[in-house]
Structure 1
Amino acid sequence: MNGFRAIFFREIRAAFFTPSGWTVLAIGAFLSGLVFTLLSLVPGGPATVQPVLKVSAWILLLVVPALSMKSFSDERRQGTWEILQAAPITPMTVILGKYMALVCQLLMLGLPILLFGVILEIHGRPDWGEIACGLLGLLLGGALWLALGMLASTLTESQLVAYLLALFTSLLVVLGSRLLPGLVGSAQADLFFAIDPTRRIEDFAIGLFDTSNLVFFIVSTAGLLWLTRLMADWRPGLRPRARFVFAGALEWVGLVVLVFGVVAIFDLPSMQRSFDLTRTRAYALDDSTLTLLESLPTGEEPWTIDLLAVSNENEGGVMRQVDEVLRRFDQASDGLVTSRI
């Protein structure tokens, strides 16, 4: 524990007592403030920070790698990583100490959104349940990108290369999961949607807490941190023995399979649990609706609700809200089938 505290406060001092850390936070605050001004402070518009929460999921892609890019690359460049290895602490302790210090910086990025909520409180009634849920989603998403950035920083001594490696990897995952579904069938499209962290953050942004999203972020982050542990002892330019390469590859493959397996299990409808955290209970069915659905007579053919919606003419978040309400109709009655066309 003493080793963890020493690493943690060492990284905190390096982050908050140097201009670089504050510069990254200032850029994040400026971008979120710009989005708030353009999309939330609209005359006659609703008092909500939902647009800021959704766009912030993309801002994290740009800002978070700048926080994590020097976590290990700087240690290798200065030759201090060998000193840390010789200290009486485990490599995982070093990784967790650095990681938690980065999470503290990530929390600072969420403070402007709280301020936006206070500003909206003056002019309207913002949904604080939605704001809290959205901030949780941003924290989980940012924690995932931090772990990816730390993994990238173990592969190089250059901070710029570490930043670009983390940035392009995250963009490849997000953009690939959004573009590839148009080239494959609907069954495979669901798989690509499931691996997109920004889509899962959007669920939090609309005030919907889904256990499958929580498991996705926790398991994926833990997996990336463990991969960081595997790569921490790697030396650029040195050729490891074949047996170590084989053992490391097996551990990589096994860990990836484990992460995907756990996420897939909790994505099953029978395992999912969702909670409506909005003030207006936007996704909850009232008692009269539940009574009506329960009283529907059952026959050979189920009752059906078909909703016609043109996806490319509507906001993606709205479609996700509609899908959640339809899903709750499905759950409320065994004799009812809903679909969105």
Structure 2
Amino acid sequence: MDDAAVLKRRGYIMGINLGEGSYAKVKSAYSERLKFNVAVKIIDRRKAPTDFLEKFLPREIEILAMLNHRSIVKTYEIFETSDGKVYIVMELGVQGDLLEFIKTRGALHEDDARKKFQQLSSAVKYCHDLDVVHRDLKCENLLLDKDFNIKLSDFGFSKRCLRDDNGRIMLSKTFCGSAAYAAPEVLQGIPYQPKVYDIWSLGVILYIMVCGSMPYDDSNIKKMLRIQKEHRVNFPRSKHLTGECKDLIYRMLQPDVNRRLHIDEILSHCWVQQLKPKSQTMTSTTATKDGESSRNTGQDLLRVPEAITDKKSTARLEPKEDPKLDTVLEKEEAVQVTRQSETLGFTAEVQHQSPQTEQGNASSPPPESVHS
């Protein structure tokens, strides 16, 4: 039975092809039950690699089924046929993804960036509170609804954090994602704290939002890593960013994992808080409120997530274990990390300025070019 017939029996009228990889494709479809268009991701188990089938697909399905947040793309249904095809029915996006939006319109005004970044951070907090990490946060995976609100998508590299007998989150050894958004510890191929990895990617995303360019050029990974480890962040003078905005980015792009901000610290940062209603506080109960999805969002989205394409890479990172690590490690194999500078359509703006010392608080943000 072909895909159209399978979907018809489930109450979907198949539409156009939205994207295709070697073992997965995404089709648009009209849901007769929901009365609006959806995206259907179709995965052929017979063509998919073993690592994907045994590790990543089960994780993605488990996590998609449990997520329910207004700033995360909604999954409506997941089913499988006897011939080995998996169908994931989800929201579509009208306004495309954030990368396309920035490439078309340029850098966002801080007020607009603040609103979108708060939505994204709220979604990440919701995930982290559930011990779920995304591990592929990037502009292509942030969809926009009809009102240009952020919808986090593509949980193909996501996972539930494991904990040891003492309740500590175990380090991860799966090196996945896009090099331009990857934290230095991931680029170095050493075991890393998965939640802390997500925070670095958030810093790259916010930089792109307000600068319209990449913070680092991933055409030379070795050079990029050296700059990152020196904690050098170059801000284009032409953007006239506020000190608070630069401070937040600088603290997220912190190479020292023990000093990098946590998601609660991001949400309580003075730059993010400028937009939040006074009645809303950053407590553990906020995630529960944020987790209540709007029942009307399905009609607002008309764009497929990026998870459909194979994540191929020109830069393979091999894992290396640090013998001095005393934390329990999760035994995982390396996954290729993709380069993004060419895909993005814009590169890092390199500022040749004298490095200066890191500033210690939000009231004293880093200058145009800084390092620690």
| TM-score tier after normalising by the smaller chain length | under 0.3
Q: Which structure has the greater CA radius of gyration?
A: 1
Please give the TM-score of this superposition, normalised by the length of structure 2: 0.24
Q: Which has the higher contact order (CA 8 A, sep 6+)?
A: 2
Larger strand fraction of residues:
2
Larger helix fraction of residues:
1
Please give the TM-score of this superposition, normalised by the length of structure 1: 0.26
